[in-house]
Structure 1
Amino acid sequence: MYTISRFSKLCKMSPRMLRHYDKEELLKPVHVDETNGYRYYEKSQLETALLINKLKEYRFSLPEIKTILQTSDKKFYIEFIHSKINELSNEMNRYRQIIAEMQGMIEKKEDIIRGKRRSYDILLGMRNEVSIISQSLQIPIADMDKYIDSIYAKAEENHIQLLGAPSVLFLDEEFNPDNSHIELVIPIIHENGCDTSSEWQIKQLPEQFVATTLHFGSYDDIGYGHMALEEWTDSNGYCLDGPSYETYLKGPECDCPAREYVTQICFPIMKIARQ
């Protein structure tokens, strides 16, 4: 058997990392001395340690690596690899878009530090009462697309006819990209007797007065659109009358560059009563 010090040198992992993998039940020592707490590893575990290193190089997370190590299903392992390839390919495409955007800024001699604030046209209108399929979620905002796909699938399974693009209501007072409380909604043709579930529901959104604008392009600077609506609302004697929401009229599902995305931003508002 190898001491943790010797084993760490063989597999190129720090003792601290090996202790972490023990805690995560990813790579546990075969023996821990009860008197001094020394950890010992077998020669056969070296192969597992090297596989972990390789999977980390392939950008698998620790939970994903744990799943791979626990399965003996070769087909499942290959599907997992294909999934990661697709994920990395999408990430590479995103980096290519970023590089192209940065090169464009240099060529146009734009102010890279301060950027260029856009102008937004603000419109007022009454949102009609509408039936929706709705799902309340507490998720990392980066995972939103897969939940949108999921609710489309739920609607199809339950023969619910969709009428428009998906919207997301932001329910947190403070934005946390790693744990956002949102409500995902899509307009539908309401059918009496349609079942709901613990995951989603069908309900009515009431008629509401809204200020709205369109944001064209990447979601990275969509905050400028929200800022424009906030400034217009404050300067025209209105206040928010509910959570703001975004409607994704054209997005990643169109398989188009981010600069072609179209997002409608809506603020439910009400006139501030004069004192």
Structure 2
Amino acid sequence: MEINEKEVPEMQVAYIFHTGPPEAMPELIGKVVGWVMEKGLQIVGPPFGIYYNSPAEVGMENMQYDVGIAVVGEVAEEGEVKIKKLPQRTVLSTIHKGSYHDVAPVYAMVYEYSVKNGYAMTGAPMEIYLNDPMEVPESEWLTEIQFPVQKIE
């Protein structure tokens, strides 16, 4: 597995914050995309999740995460869909191929890499869903996993 440091530019996102198991994500992504299309915003990236805690810490029912998509355009927040800007950031990034349920070892490998290579975690990890699970078999699902980091001097 290849892990790379890269710069991610600032981006405006439409998102829903949710507490509960990740199985709610497809429905939440559908809500966000529907709202974005209704508002006439331009989608400029694939759907993502930002995870604020771990199922190992809090259990699946209490997971907290944002589900969203990068957009261009001006619009006011409405209902459960919010708008925010994610700042430019340095991340450690890797691509996971396969089921979303098999990402835990990838998280562990990226964390281990960060410690061995002098990085400190500076924020919540993001999963970017690079292809549509309705269009490709589970074995072909591609997820970019990004950990915001800072190099320790």
Same fold (TM over 0.5): yes
2:111 to 230, 239, 244: 230
Offset of residue 253 of structure 1: 3.0
Q: Which structure's CA Rg is the greater one?
A: 1
2:63 to 174, 177, 180: 180
Paired residue total: 151
Query: 2:131 and 2:20 mapped to 1: Cα distance?
Result: 22
The structure whose RCO (Cα within 8 Å, separation 6+) is larger is 2
More helix by share: 1
2:22 to 127, 130, 141: 141
Is the Cα contact below 8 Å between 1:251 and 1:258 reproduced in 2?
A: no
Offset of residue 251 of structure 1: 3.5
Runs of 5+ unmatched residues, structure 2: none
Query: Which residue does 2:9 correspond to in 1?
Result: 128
Query: Which residue does 2:137 correspond to in 1?
Result: 257
Query: 1:221 and 1:137 mapped to 2: Cα distance?
Result: 21
Is the Cα contact below 8 Å between 1:141 and 1:179 reproduced in 2?
A: no
Runs of 4+ with >4 A deviation: none
Give 1:14-29 correspondences, 5 Å limit: none
CA shift in 2, pair 1:148/1:259, >3 Å = same
Q: What percent of counterpart residues are identical?
A: 28
Task: State the SS of the aligned residue for 2:43.
Answer: coil
AA of the residue aligned to 1:203: K
1:164 aligns to 2:45 (yes or no): yes
Query: Which residue does 1:218 correspond to in 2?
Result: 99
More strand by share: 2
Query: 1:265 and 1:147 mapped to 2: Cα distance?
Result: 19
Query: Which residue does 2:80 correspond to in 1?
Result: 199
Deviations 1:225-260 (A, max 9, x none): 111111110101111100011000014232x21001
Query: 1:220 and 1:140 mapped to 2: Cα distance?
Result: 12
Query: Which residue does 1:34 correspond to in 2?
Result: none
Is the Cα contact below 8 Å between 2:19 and 2:61 reproduced in 1?
A: no
Query: 1:198 and 1:207 mapped to 2: Cα distance?
Result: 27
Instruction: Provide TM-score, normalisation by structure 2.
Output: 0.92
Offset of residue 134 of structure 1: 1.8
Task: State the SS of the aligned residue for 1:178.
Answer: helix
Runs of 5+ unmatched residues, structure 1: 1-119
Instruction: Provide TM-score, normalisation by structure 1.
Output: 0.53
CA shift in 2, pair 1:162/1:197, >3 Å = same
1:272 aligns to 2:152 (yes or no): yes
Offset of residue 159 of structure 1: 1.2
CA RMSD, aligned part only?
1.4
